[in-house]
Chains A and B, each alone.
Chain A
Amino acid sequence: MERIPILRLRDCLLVTIQVDMHDQLALTLQDDLTELIVRHQARGVLIDISALEIVDSFIGRMLSNIAAMARILDAVTVVVGMRPAVAITLVELGLEMPGVRTALNVDAGMRLIERALEEERQAGHGRSKG
């Protein structure tokens, strides 16, 4: 079965979506990510969608779901590299993606994750790293 590869980068998971996903593939990615978050005790999830030419309601909802699940599993999700046309279309489509943070590129995304985790540490909650 085809899968979107998920890379581990320190305590982050890095997903680069290179293909136009069909729905099942999107659901599989969702499952794989939650599974790996738990297994690797990941704190951040970075999803690069710079290769995607469209994000329709289903994929948008999937991204939203991933962010929500990751949140519950105590991880921060950042979607990076969204094309302007996609962004505009998403807005026109009326799709909101609550809880999904975005950044322009991977670098910015990583910084966003680090900053978010730092804030959490200062706020005194979140996991203590062993």
Chain B
Amino acid sequence: MELLTTTIRNEADVVTVRQRARQLAAMLGFDTQDQTRISTAVSEVARNAQAYAGGGKARFGLNLDGEHPLFSVEISDQGPGIPNLQSILDGQYVSSTGMGIGLMGVRRLMDDFAIDTGPKGTKLRLVKHLPRHVRPPSPREIGALVGRLAQESGPRIEDELYQQNQEILRNLEELRRRQEDLRSLNAELEETNRGVVALYAELEDKAEQLRRAHELKTRFMSHIGHEFRTPVNAILALARMLLDRMDGPLTEEQERQVGFIQKAAGDLGGLVDDLLDLARVEAGKTPLEIAPVAIEELFGTLRGIIKPLLRGDAVALHVDPAPPGLEMTTDESKLSQILRNFLSNAVKFTEKGEIRLSLSLDGGQVIFTVRDSGIGIPEENLETVFEEFSQVRNPLQRQAKGTGLGLSLSRKLAALLGGEVWAESRLGEGSAFHLRLPLHHPSIPPVQAEEEEETHPAVPAPALDEAPILIVDDDPAARYVLRQILLAENRVVAEAGSADEAREWLDQRPPCLIFLDLVMGTGIDGFQFLAELKRNAATAAIPVIVCTSQSLDDSDLQRLTAATAILPKKDVRRDTVAGLLQTIFPKGAAS
């Protein structure tokens, strides 16, 4: 019959088991001496189980069946077993913990002792005969006895404390591990961070390279544009001279040929201008001139420009009347350029029907629409038409001469003005191009500085009739054009291909006027030469007309304030040159 089972986990449990053994022995009628023997023996065995096997179970039992009633204690564990049991029992083994003595002593303290040990555990059975003169307890008494013990063996405070301690230790260990995790995670994050920083630097690098490549492209375009413009201007000017009959009459056929030359050169010039505009917008060098713009007037102007382009009566141009008095605040020339592009595009690709320019207001924004009944654009090309040099293949394409730059430039200009462009189209039915702009450009309109060249006071005429007009330009064609015009105006002309040559003229025969090109192949450029002229007291008074095919931005103009006038090469015509001479030498006297 089993009386009680107790678990042995720790040292405190060893104490409990031996106390239970003592209490049970007392209840079963053992005398004090036997109680001490039994509990001492149980203590030894229980300690072994706890110390060597990490714990076990103690089972107390009572056997009333045999001749002698027996009190038995069975202590079992799942430890590694007792390897040298025989030598222990023979008394040869000496343990530092007193184990040898323990087992041998236990044998002496109890009436019977059985041990079963193996690699899977050890089981010890201790038996003590109940005292002979004592009546063995009845089952009822035993039941009450066990019940009493069970009540006593509720959780003890030490047990709870022990549990709590274990828990705290576990928690501390957990905490330590988490901190460790956190630390390693942090380290990992740091590593990642370094990687990100490195990547970022690389990206920055790449962006810088891209920026540089883009800048290079823009510079190249600007340069090429300029290089193109110079000969184109020369061709135009020469053609004009021929048509003006400055060198004698032309036959009818010659006149037609020169007319074609002029037309072709004009187209080429337009292309170069577009290219240069695009380059300037991309370089961010396009200054905005924000001012009030009267839309009605603008529409009128546009109609005037586009009307002559229409071929015959097959295509009609409608300009819807703008709301009277509508005024926008934006850059008029750029707005006009965008709409001109839309309109001339529509003209190119419309054979019959109509082209309509209309306007609608949408909150604080204005939407301009140019709608045509032309060939249309396939849907997949609606976006690409805004890309540079893209043209859609179509029958009219071959007839129409486009640069492929107009729409791209329009998009960039629109962005510059804080707006956008887009297109919609149905193939064969027509297209609509839209421009959306804020009614009032968000930037504060810059104060308009009066152009120096416009207001430059006329210089008193130098009394140097015999003094020549010096043309400084490295391009012989440009010099030739100018010379011919000046000769026609009865002026004495000197020419220099570089600043050095010009200096010689200044020494030998100081001129009364200098036409100065800005970009020259050799030596210092026009900017520097102009500065040099103005620094030198002997030459400071000579008026200088800057004659260039370069597009000038604000910073360029800033460096040219010392010039008397600026004459774009494309405007080099007899009338403009004569006008300038008239302004500078008011007498108008020919030499």
Chain A residues with a Cβ under 8 A of chain B: 2, 20-25, 53-58, 60-61, 83-86, 88-89, 92-95
Is the CB–CB distance between A54 and B18 below 8 Å? yes
What are 23 sample pairs from A and B whose C-beta atoms fall under 8 A apart? A2-B158, A20-B18, A23-B11, A53-B35, A54-B40, A55-B40, A56-B18, A57-B98, A57-B102, A57-B105, A58-B97, A60-B98, A85-B37, A89-B37, A92-B108, A92-B109, A93-B105, A93-B106, A93-B108, A94-B101, A94-B104, A94-B108, A95-B105
Q: How far is the CA of A57 from the CA of B41 in the complex (A)?
A: 9
Instruction: Assess the B101–A85 pair: CB atoms within 8 A.
Output: no
Contacts of B10 in A (CB 8 A): 22
Known pairs A89-B36, A95-B101; A53 contacts B22 (CB<8 A): yes
Extra 20 A-B pairs, beta carbons < 8 Å, given A57-B102, A93-B44: A20-B15, A20-B19, A22-B15, A23-B14, A53-B22, A54-B22, A56-B18, A58-B43, A58-B47, A60-B98, A61-B97, A85-B37, A86-B36, A88-B33, A88-B36, A89-B40, A92-B37, A93-B106, A93-B108, A93-B109
Evaluate whether A56 and B11 lie within 8 angstroms (CB atoms) in the complex, with A85-B32, A89-B37, A94-B108 already known: no
B12 contacts A22, CB within 8 Å? yes
Closest chain A residue to B32, Cβ basis: A85
Most chain A C-beta atoms within 10 Å of own C-beta, residue among B43, B44, B109, B158? B43
Give the shortest distance, in Å, between B35 (CB) and chain A (any CB).
Answer: 7
Asked whether A85 lies within 8 Å of B105 as measured between CB atoms, the reply is: no
A56 touches B15 (CB 8 A): no
A58 B98 Cβ-Cβ under 8 A? yes
Contact A56 B19 (CB under 8 A): no
Q: Are B36 and A53 in contact (CB under 8 A)?
A: yes
Binary interface encoding of chain B residues 2-41 relative to chain A, with 1 for a CB under 8 A from any of its CBs, else 0: 0000000011101100110010000000001101110110
List B contacts of A94 (CB < 8 A). Answer: 101, 104-105, 108
- B interface residues, Cβ below 8 angstroms from A: 10-12, 14-15, 18-19, 22, 32-33, 35-37, 39-40, 43-44, 47, 97-99, 101-102, 104-106, 108-109, 158
Contact (Cβ within 8 A) B44 A22: no
Which 3 pairs, one residue from A and one from B, show the smallest C-beta to C-beta distance?
A93-B105, A57-B98, A22-B11
B14→A92 contact, CB < 8 A: no
CA distance A86 to B108 in the complex (A): 14
What's the Cα separation between A83 and B33 when bound, in Å? 10
CA distance A129 to B495 in the complex (A): 128
Bound together, the chains give a CA A61 to CA B95 distance in angstroms of: 11
User: Which B residues are in CB contact (< 8 Å) with A23?
Assistant: 11, 14, 47
Question: In the complex, how many angstroms separate the beta carbon of B320 from the nearest chain A beta carbon?
Answer: 99
Alpha-carbon distance between A94 and B104 when the two chains are bound, in angstroms = 8
Which residue from A22, A57, A85 sits with its C-beta under 8 Å from B33?
A85
> How far apart sit A21 and B35, CA to CA, in the bound complex (Å)?
18
